[in-house]
Structure 1
Amino acid sequence: MKIKELEFKEIASKRIYESYMKRISKVVKPLPVQDQNEVLLEFNSHIYEGLQRQTNKAEVEGLLDILDKLGVPEEILKPLVADKKMEQATKTFNPLHVIKALALNITNGISYIIFFILYLLLLGFVYLIFAKIVNPDTMGLFFEDEAFMVLGKTNKLNDPGVTEVLGNWFIPVMIVSIIVCYFIITFLLKLKRIINKK
């Protein structure tokens, strides 16, 4: 949907308006097109209504007053963009959206830092898969005398009580673990967002 640009009598007013709207477009670029259009339409509407109320000021002066009241797009839209991106991420469970949403929300509290760390820990499982492919004998889930010893690499293969329990199932188990953990962490992120909304 194309936003109808406002018409101005003065060229300076048009340039100021276009510059402000471009800044808004740039800030909301990470959002889906529909959300971008909603934000642009909302700001466009505020500017239009503000101009309709100001009859005794010069056009440029009135426009500058309205834009001052609306604020700097880079500052006022940051929380909105972060929240909308988090909403998109928790709806779609798309890893790219999740990463972008966490990056935008990283300054919004320690809980987002914790979620970011949890997602980074999932990369550990990916590392284990590649390490198992490269060194199949020294990587795995090892038990020593029927007690958990290590998930990863060991040099104690020659010890009599050490056994690798998963064998050829190690990679499929790690893949399933990544998927399950990813969905659990993302569901918890969604739950946190719902709790914050209340």
Structure 2
Amino acid sequence: MKFKEVNFDDESAQRIYIQYFDRVRNVIKSLSKESQNDILLEINSHIYESLLNSNKSEVENILDVTEKLGNPEVFLKELVGEKRLYEVTKSFNPIKIFNALLMNITNGVSYIIFLILYLSLFFFIFLSIKKILDPKNIGFYYLKNKFFVLGKLKSTSFNYYQYEQLGNWFIPVMIICSITLFFIITLLLRLKKQFQKTII
């Protein structure tokens, strides 16, 4: 169903209505057309129903309803953030996902955790770059029941360097790890959103 404006007999009421929806549109403009339409329909039906059940003038009525709904910039903030995050996880675009998580950072601890998980992926990219700049001291060092190091190893009297496990494969493995973890974290974020939708 497509959004259709309510027509008022009173010009002042119509102007208040249009100005309110201009504010709503401004808040939801980052969402897909479908999500925007859903929100507009929801708010519009709320206003329309209140018009049917009121004996007040149109101006009084529209002012009452918009006051009860509140400022779109406030009451739509969380909803827009949630919907935006759900939309961008479908695209797997890291920049859009990062921006959507920043938008939701005040909406719960889980978003902070996901943001930290995404930021931790830069560790693998950082190690790949460091390996190019310092190939001798960066790597994956492992000796069973003795030590495990992923990153830089300081030189000591003991020759740890012979226990470097990946050699020339270090950079491809780090890149594959970061890409794989990115997809896993994004899928977990999508599952979280779908789980929330089924509960609500």
Q: Same fold (TM over 0.5)?
A: yes
1:108 counterpart residue number: 107
Counterparts of 2:113 and 2:89 in 1: how far apart (Å)? 16
Q: Number of aligned pairs?
A: 197
Task: Specify every segment of 5 or more residues in structure 2 that has no aligned partner in the other structure, as ranges.
Answer: none
Counterparts of 2:194 and 2:5 in 1: how far apart (Å)? 36
Q: Which runs of 4+ in 1 moved over 6 A?
A: none
Q: Report Cα offsets for 1:30-51 as digits up to 9, x if no partner.
A: 2212101221122223223323
1:128 matched to 2:127? The reply is yes
Provide TM-score, normalisation by structure 2.
0.82
Structure 1 pair 65/37, CA: closer, same or farther in 2 (3 Å)? same
Provide TM-score, normalisation by structure 1.
0.83
What is the 5 A alignment of 1:56-67?
Answer: 56-67=55-66
Counterparts of 2:129 and 2:76 in 1: how far apart (Å)? 41
Secondary structure at the counterpart of residue 137 of structure 1: coil
Cα deviation for residue 2 of structure 1 reads 7.0
% identical aligned pairs: 48
Confirm or deny: 8 A CA contact 1:106 1:112 kept in the other structure. yes
1:22 counterpart residue number: 22
Counterparts of 2:102 and 2:121 in 1: how far apart (Å)? 17
RMSD (Å) for aligned C-alpha atoms: 2.7
Confirm or deny: 8 A CA contact 1:88 1:97 kept in the other structure. no
Secondary structure at the counterpart of residue 136 of structure 1: coil
Counterparts of 1:98 and 1:57 in 2: how far apart (Å)? 46
Q: Report Cα offsets for 1:80-121 as digits up to 9, x if no partner.
A: 223222322443433234223322332232222212111111
2:167 counterpart residue number: 167
Q: Report Cα offsets for 1:120-172 as digits up to 9, x if no partner.
A: 11111111122222222222223468954421123328853323322221111
Q: Report Cα offsets for 1:40-85 as digits up to 9, x if no partner.
A: 122223223323433x422211110121232222232223223222
Aligned letter for 2:83? Answer: K
